[in-house]
Structure 1
């Protein structure tokens, strides 16, 4: 997927109220099964990437790495964001279906 398309779809999910942001909020959404897709900024720290990769892998949640924290924040109308979770299955599928294979974070 083109980065602009991904950012546009994330903005749409945010306006629809189907997206949560922030470390603890996203972790809670993953643990409770409300997250359908987690998006990490490409410039997130290695520790953050590992934490979310492990958590998403253990709960069976799709995880992708895209863009950087400034662009993710701008896409949803907020300041810099490192991690986002799409909480609607349809939005999650729409975004995941258009991701190119090289943007997926390896769950191993």
Structure 2
């Protein structure tokens, strides 16, 4: 799982909220498993404090399918972002949203230009 610092997690919570409202994110272990099986899932966010039983139901499938899993905030914070009390995992089904979260979790891309070299 890819981890984040506190500022990144705040941004992540905002993106999750947008994704849930825009139907680009799905909530809960069962829905995430179903989306992964159907090939609709682009990324998953797991609460590190979720029950091991919940995580054992979903993480092996996600890893087997090669789906990136980001370590998100607590289950309560993750649930709050999704309008729930708590949730173990949120799946991202919107490709653009997944790309944004992936970029956030990996940080800015390094500048590979040589000194004095211009863009374009």
Q: Which residue of 1 aligns with 2:88?
A: 82
Deviation at 1:74, TM superposition (A): 1.0
Find runs of 4+ consecutive structure 1 residues off by over 3 angstroms: none
Q: Which residue of 2 aligns with 1:105?
A: none
- TM superposition score normalised by structure 2: 0.76
Q: Which residue of 2 aligns with 1:13?
A: 19
Q: Which residue of 2 aligns with 1:91?
A: 97
Unaligned runs of 5+ in 1: 102-108
How many residue pairs get aligned? The number is: 101
Unaligned runs of 5+ in 2: 108-120
Query: If you compute each CA radius of gyration, which structure gives the higher value, 1 or 2?
Result: 2
- TM superposition score normalised by structure 1: 0.84
